[in-house]
């Protein structure tokens, strides 16, 4: 069974930096899968923030890319999110999730975000 | 701003069939699969449908989905009170190399 757990401060000052870590258990982060961050602001829908591969490759939501860095720590089986210059609009529940993929020959198969952490609330004040 | 468009709400009575639509763009839904997530009250989002029509293990066959061109839909047969919650569509968008979500549809079981 794969488990993901977010950790980090629940309160961040406006204009400061939000830092969260996701610890993966039950699976190696050194897999073909990618590892994502998603958030849900109060009264809003899900917003994909970005993702990282164990190789260090990343993809980001263009609307957040200038403020976001996602990194991986293979030795600790963790990946992390840093978001700078936060404002009240960044107040949200932040989830980490596994972006399950498989490679069959030259083709990548995307299975979706199949395992999610419980989420952590971050308030920017 | 959601790049996939869903109706904000849907409703039905127990036992009914309900459908939720999702429209996208040529770089998202037309080229790639659609995915559906269910978020029940107080719960974590759950992958409901993978690769347009595949149900992950444990998802009842009351849930089905399809896609045509730049539009997709989720159907729930035999609606139950425990289905009440938010449903989100998603797709990989080649133009941004990332996932895009719909704004979500709040399903109410009357």
CA B52, B2, A37, A117 torsion: positive or negative?
negative
Confidence (pLDDT) at A103: 84
Pairing label, strands A92-104, A120-124: antiparallel
Confidence (pLDDT) at B1: 52
Confidence (pLDDT) at B2: 57
Q: What chain A residue is nearest to B8 in terms of C-alpha separation?
A: A45
Contact status, residue A79 vs residue A22, Cβ threshold 8 Å: yes
Task: For residue A9, give how far its alpha carbon lies from the nearest alpha carbon of chain B (Å).
Answer: 20
CA nearest to A19, candidates A30, A27, A11: A11
B79 and A CB contact within 8 Å: no
pLDDT, tens digit only, all 125 positions of chain A: 999 999 999 999 999 999 999 999 999 998 878 999 999 999 899 999 999 999 999 999 999 999 999 999 999 999 999 999 999 999 999 999 999 998 888 888 999 999 999 999 999 99
CA nearest to B65, candidates B18, B26, B102: B18
Token readout for A37 is 């961050």
CA B28, B29, B35, B38 torsion: positive or negative?
positive
Confidence (pLDDT) at A106: 83
Ranges assigned E (strand) in chain A:
3-7, 11-12, 18-25, 34-40, 46-52, 58-60, 68-73, 78-83, 92-104, 107-116, 120-124
Q: How far apart are CA B83 and CA B14, in angstroms?
A: 10
Cα angle B64, B69, B70 (rounded to 5 degrees) comes to: 90
For residue A95, the chain B residues in CB contact (below 8 A) are 44-45
Which member of A46, A61, A119 has the closest CB to residue B88? Answer: A46
| pLDDT tens sequence across B16-59 | 999 999 998 877 788 889 999 999 999 999 999 999 999 999 99
Strand partners, B92: B99
Confidence (pLDDT) at A108: 84
Confidence (pLDDT) at B110: 94
Q: How far apart are CA B21 and CA A35, in angstroms?
A: 28
| pLDDT tens sequence across B59-93 | 999 999 999 999 999 999 999 999 999 999 999 99
Confidence (pLDDT) at B66: 95
Q: How far apart are the first and last CA of chain B?
A: 30
Q: Hunting for tokens 């952590």 — which residue is that? A: A120
Radius of gyration of chain B measured on its C-alpha atoms: 13
Confidence (pLDDT) at A15: 97
Cβ distance of A116 and B44 shorter than 8 Å? yes
């Amino acid at each position: 069974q794969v488990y993901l757990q977010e950790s980090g401060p629940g309160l961040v000052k406006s204009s400061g930096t939000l830092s969260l870590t996701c610890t993966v258990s039950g699976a190696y982060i050194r897999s073909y899968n990618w590892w994502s961050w998603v958030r849900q602001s109060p009264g809003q829908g899900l917003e994909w923030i970005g993702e990282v591969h164990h190789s260090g490759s990343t993809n980001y939501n263009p609307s957040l890319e200038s403020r976001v860095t996602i990194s991986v720590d293979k030795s600790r089986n963790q990946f992390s999110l840093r978001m700078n210059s936060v404002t009240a609009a960044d107040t949200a529940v932040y989830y980490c999730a596994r972006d399950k993929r498989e490679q069959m020959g030259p083709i990548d198969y995307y299975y979706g975000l199949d395992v999610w952490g419980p989420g952590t609330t971050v308030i920017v004040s | 701003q959601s790049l996939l468009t869903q109706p904000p709400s849907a409703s039905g009575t127990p036992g009914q069939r309900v459908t939720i639509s999702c429209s996208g763009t040529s770089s998202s839904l037309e080229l790639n699969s659609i995915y559906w997530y269910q978020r029940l009250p107080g719960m974590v989002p759950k992958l409901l449908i993978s690769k347009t029509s595949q149900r992950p293990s444990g998802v009842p066959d009351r849930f089905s989905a399809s896609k045509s061109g730049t539009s997709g839909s989720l159907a729930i047969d035999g609606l139950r009170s425990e289905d009440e919650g938010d449903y989100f569509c998603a797709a990989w968008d080649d133009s941004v190399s990332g996932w895009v979500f719909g704004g979500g549809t709040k399903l109410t079981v009357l």
